[in-house]
Amino acid sequence: MQLWELTMCQARELLDRREITSAELTQAFLDRIGLVEKRVRAFLTVAGQQALEQASEADRRLGAGERTPVLGIPLALKDVLCTRGLPTTCGSRILENFVPPYDATVVEWLRADGAVFLGKTNMDEFAMGSSTEHSAFGPTRNPWDLERIPGGSSGGSAAAVAAQECLAALGSDTGGSIRQPAACCGIVGMKPTYGRVSRYGLVAFASSLDQIGPMTKDVRDCALLLGAIAGHDPRDSTSVPLARPDYTKALNGELEGLRVGYLEEEEGVEPDVSRALGEALGVLESLGARLVPVKLPHMPYALPSYYLVAPAEASSNLARYDGVKYGFRCGEEGGLLEMYCCSRSKGFGQEVKRRIMLGTYALSAGYYDAYYRKACQVRTLLVGDFRQAFKLCDVIVSPTAPSTAFRLGERLQDPIQMYLSDYFTIPVNMAGLPALSVPCGLDGKGLPIGLQIIGAHFQEERILQVAYGFEQATGHHLRRPRL
Amino acid sequence: MIISPEDVEHVAKLARLSLEEGELERLTVELNSILTYMDQLRQVDTQAVEPTTHAMELFNVLRDDQVRPSMGVEEVLANAPRRFGDSFQVPRVIE
Secondary-structure breakdown of chain A: helix, strand, coil percentages, each rounded to the nearest 5: 45, 15, 40
Exposed e or buried b per residue across A97-136, where buried means at least 16 C-beta atoms within 10 angstroms of its C-beta = ebbbbebbbbbbbbbebbbbbbbbbbbbbbbbbbbbbbbb
* One domain, residues A186 and A65: yes
Q: How far apart are CA B59 and CA B8, in angstroms?
A: 37
Selected catalytic residue, list A177, A239, A403, A421: A177
* CB-based burial label for A336 (10 Å; 0-12, 13-18, 19+): middle
- The residues near A63 (Cβ < 8 Å, ≥ 6 apart) are A18
Assess whether pLDDT exceeds 90 at residue A135. yes
pLDDT at B1 (0 to 100): 85
Instruction: Say what the pLDDT of residue A266 is.
Output: 75
Distance from CA of B2 to the nearest CA of A (A): 11
Confidence of residue A302 (pLDDT cuts 50, 70, 90): very high
Single out the residue in A376, A411, A441 at which a domain terminates.
A376
| C-alpha span between B91 and A323 (Å, rounded) | 11
List all residues of chain A from 85 to 104 with a beta carbon under 8 Å from chain B. Answer: 97-99, 101-102
Whether residue A298 and residue B8 make contact (CB cut-off 8 A), yes or no, is: no
In a domain, A294, yes or no: no
Distance from CA of B95 to the nearest CA of A (A): 11
Is it the case that residue A264 has pLDDT exceeding 90?
no
Low-confidence ranges of chain B (pLDDT < 70): none
Candidate from B40, B50, B53 with C-beta closest to A301: B40
Specify whether A322 is located in the same domain as A227: no
**A292 lies in some domain:** no
Residue A341 is predicted with a pLDDT of: 98
Strands (E), A163-303: 168-172, 188-191, 212-216, 259-263, 290-294
Listed range (A75-79, A223-227, A342-346, B52-56) with the worst mean pLDDT = B52-56
Active site residue A153: yes
Residues of B in Cβ contact (< 8 Å) with A353: 17, 27
Question: In angstroms, what separates the C-alpha of B15 from chain A's closest C-alpha?
Answer: 6
pLDDT at A409: 96
Provide the chain A residues 375-394 that lie in CB contact (below 8 A) with chain B: 375-381, 383
Q: Are residues A338 and A199 in the same domain?
A: no
Model confidence band, residue A459 (pLDDT cutoffs 50, 70, 90): very high
Collect all residues with Cβ–Cβ distance below 8 Å to A330 and sequence separation of at least 6.
A323, A339, A342, A343, A346
Q: What is the pLDDT of residue A392?
A: 98
Q: Is residue A265 part of a domain?
A: no
Give the pairing of strands B87-88 and A43-46. Answer: unpaired
> What is the spatial distance between Cα A21 and Cα B37, in angstroms, rounded to a whole number?
55
A324 located within any domain: yes
CB pair distance less than 8 Å for A194 and B75: no
Residue A386 within any structural domain of the chain: no
Does the beta-carbon distance from A101 to B75 stay under 8 Å? Answer: yes
| Nearest by CB: B88 against A300, A324, A361 | A324
Among candidate residues A345, A376, A407, the one where a domain is terminated: A376
Contacts of A344 in chain B (CB under 8 A): 15-17
Q: Is A60 left (phi over 0), alpha (psi -120 to 50) or beta?
A: alpha
Same domain, yes or no, for A218 and A327? no
Same domain, A53 and A135: yes
Chain segment A410-436, per-residue pLDDT in tens:
999 888 888 999 999 999 999 999 999
pLDDT recorded at residue A440: 98
Across residues A460-466, what is the average pLDDT?
98
Based on the fold, state whether residues A364 and A415 are members of the same structural domain: no
What is the per-residue pLDDT for A415?
Answer: 85
C-alpha atoms less than 13 angstroms from C-alpha of A151 in its C-beta half-sphere: 40
Give A 203-232 residues with CB within 8 A of chain B: 208
Residue numbers in A near B84 (CB within 8 A): none
Instruction: Look at residue A443 and tell me if it is in a domain.
Output: yes
pLDDT, position A358: 97
Find the catalytic residue in A22, A131, A153, A157. Answer: A153
Chain B residue numbers with beta carbons less than 8 Å from the beta carbon of A374 are 41-42, 44, 46
Contact assignment for B50 to A238 by CB distance below 8 Å: no
Q: Which pLDDT value is given to residue A479? A: 96
Would you say A104 and A123 are in contact if contact means Cβ atoms under 8 Å apart? no
Closest partner residue to A416 among B7, B33, B63, by Cβ? Answer: B33
pLDDT value for A108:
98
Co-location of A328 and A204 in the same domain:
no
The mean per-residue pLDDT over the stretch A375-395 comes to 98
Domain edge (last residue) among A376, A410, A435: A376
Q: Is there a contact between A356 and B15 if contact means CB atoms under 8 Å apart?
A: yes
A contact residues 56-85, partner B, Cβ 8 Å cutoff: none
- The mean of the pLDDT values for chain A is 97
Do A15 and A162 sit in the same domain of this protein? yes
* Complex ipTM value: 0.96
Mean pLDDT of A117-124: 98
What pLDDT, in 10s, does the model give residues A160-195?
A: 999 999 999 999 999 999 999 999 999 999 999 999
Contact B79 A101 (CB under 8 A): yes
**Helices (DSSP H) in A17-115: which residue ranges?**
22-40, 48-63, 105-112
A175, A33: one domain:
yes
> With an 8 Å Cβ cutoff, is A237 touching chain B?
yes
pLDDT digits 0-9 by tens, A12-55 = 999 999 999 999 999 999 999 999 999 999 999 999 999 999 99
Query: pLDDT at position A9, please?
Result: 98
> Is residue A266 assigned to a domain?
no
What is the share, in percent, of chain A residues with pLDDT greater than 70? 100
Residue A350 one-letter amino acid: Q
Secondary structure class of A82 (helix, strand, coil): coil
Residue A43 forms contact with B (CB below 8 Å): no
Domain that holds residue A314: 299-376
Name every chain A residue with its beta carbon within 8 A of the beta carbon of B93.
Answer: 335-336
B45 → chain A, closest CA residue = A378
A161 and A50 inside one domain: yes
How many structural domains are present in chain A?
Answer: 2
CATH of residue A197: 3.90.1300.10
Residue A50 lies in a domain: yes
Contact A381 B46 (CB under 8 A): yes
On whether both A406 and A361 belong to a single domain, the answer is no
> Do A398 and A369 reside in the same domain of the chain?
no
Three-state SS annotation for B32-88: HHHHHHHHHHHHCCCCCCCCCCCCCCCCCCCCCCCCCCCCCHHHHHCCCCCEECCEE
